[in-house]
Amino acid sequence: MAKRDLLTLTDITPGELQDLLRLAGSLKTDLRAGRMPRPLDGKVLALIFHKPSLRTRVSFQAGMNRLGGSAMYLSDREIGMNTREALRDIARVLSGYVDGIMIRTFSHAWVEELARFATIPVINGLTDDYHPCQILADLQTVAENFDGLEGRRVVFVGDGNNVFRSWANAARLVPFHLTLCCPQGYTPPAAFMEGIRAACGDRVRVEHDPVAAIEGAEIVYTDVWASMGQEDEAAARRTVFLPYQLNETLLAGAAAEAIVLHCLPAHRGEEITDEVVDGPRSRVFDQAENRMHAQNALLVRLMGEGWS
């Protein structure tokens, strides 16, 4: 079986996405029933972190343990990527020790190079450009609340960051409607949006008026206004994004059955209020739990049984 990677959601087919979501749901049910299978018995996953994370580290490490394998945490102090040692050499060395690599870093090009030279699966745990594992968890959460995602209206309130771009890539695989609601000047690069529009047509659009964008939305998503690496922009972004705060007033325009998602960590009182993140529409903590279940399904497919 040829090795597979997940660097963006474009690395899987629509059928494989549906398979992952079904398997994620099954593994979640098994875990809660106390009958967790162990398909990754003896497997080892290397976890490389350049950016810290509560959810990414714990969900992958706990997930590997529950699946019968183990995980090994590596910071850049141990590795020195592209400083002490070339990426291609690191890929080859790790390929001889472990069965898979998860990397959470800044440069997407680094992840691509690591995957190119590794002979084992490489999973993008987050880069500045994409966050595919988060969207797998998001889609599982949507599946738990709605009868399918096709035709649904998803509104992402924030900038065109790595989470939005991965949602846009998901729209290539499932025909839902996606709106990015952001201030002028905060959309993704033009080349990316051109590719998305070529694939999805008018199902993916940009709206600068938050009230108009959220009207009738069924899935309302937000994220921090300044991501890691943008700390020097944080003060300016707080001013620009203030009208885009997800609060009860703005959320009132969404569909009656709308749910609220946030990939966390949340800056409460900035992009989202306490009343919303803790409110009855919030599925934020279900979504956080589903990081483990969705990634467990991915680990089984990439490091275990595979796709036929």
Q: Is 223 a catalytic residue?
A: yes
Q: Same domain for 71 and 169?
A: no
Q: Which of 233, 297, 289, 271 is nearest to 54 (CA)?
A: 289
Range of the domain at 200: 134-287
Question: Rounded to the nearest 5°, which phi and psi values hold at 2?
Answer: -70, 145
Both 281 and 144 in one domain: the answer is yes
* Separation of alpha carbons 6 and 110, rounded Å: 14
Q: Do 73 and 171 reside in the same domain of the chain?
A: no
What 8-state DSSP symbol labels residue 308?
-
pLDDT at 1 over 80: no
Q: Could you tell me which of 252, 221, 219, 224 has the C-alpha nearest to residue 238?
A: 224
d(CA 221, CA 33): 30
Q: Given a cut of 80, is residue 134 above it in pLDDT?
A: yes
Catalytic residue among 66, 133, 134, 295: 134
Query: What is the rounded CA–CA span in Å between residue 161 and residue 184?
Result: 14
Give the pLDDT confidence of 204-223 residue by residue, as tens digits: 999 999 999 999 999 999 99
Catalytic residue among 291, 293, 295, 301: 291
Verify that 142 and 227 share a domain, yes or no: yes
Give start and end residues of each alpha helix (H) in the chain.
14-32, 54-66, 76-79, 87-95, 108-117, 132-145, 162-173, 190-200, 210-214, 234-241, 248-251, 274-277, 284-303
Residues 16, 148, single domain; the answer is no
Residue 233, pLDDT > 90, answer no
Helix H or strand E encompassing 259: strand 259-262
| Judgement on whether residues 113 and 93 belong to the same structural domain of the protein | yes
Which DSSP string corresponds to 213-246? HHTT-SEEEE--SS-TT-GGGHHHHHHHHGGG-B
Asked if 171 and 237 sit in the same domain, the reply is: yes
Q: Are residues 123 and 229 in the same domain?
A: no
* Counted domains in the chain: 2
Note whether 49 and 172 are same-domain residues: no
Which one of 66, 104, 152, 262 is the catalytic residue?
A: 104
In a domain, 188, yes or no: yes
> Which is the catalytic residue, given 55, 131, 293, 301?
131
Are 127 and 149 members of one domain? no
For residue 172, being part of any structural domain is answered with yes
Determine phi and psi for 103, rounding to 5 degrees.
Answer: -130, 135
Instruction: For residue 158, give the CATH number of its domain.
Output: 3.40.50.1370
Residues in the chain: 308
Residue 1 lies inside a defined structural domain of this protein: no
Catalytic residue among 223, 262, 293, 295: 223
* Distance in angstroms (rounded) separating the CA atoms of residues 80 and 90: 9
Is position 189 within any domain? yes
Same domain, 106 and 140: no
Q: Is 208 among the residues known to form the active site?
A: no
- Indicate if 47 and 141 belong to the same structural domain: no
244 — pLDDT class (breaks 50, 70, 90): very high
In-domain check, residue 2: no
Is the residue at 4 inside a domain? no
* Residue 308 pLDDT > 70: no
> Is residue 3 domain-resident?
no
Span 289-304, pLDDT tens digits: 999 999 999 999 999 9
pLDDT tens digits for range 42-76 = 999 999 999 989 999 999 999 999 999 999 999 98
Tell me how far apart the alpha carbons of residues 255 and 274 are, in angstroms, rounded to a whole number: 20
What backbone torsions phi and psi does residue 100 show, to the nearest 5 degrees?
Answer: -170, 160
Question: Is 291 a catalytic site residue?
Answer: yes
- Let me know if residue 44 belongs to a domain: yes
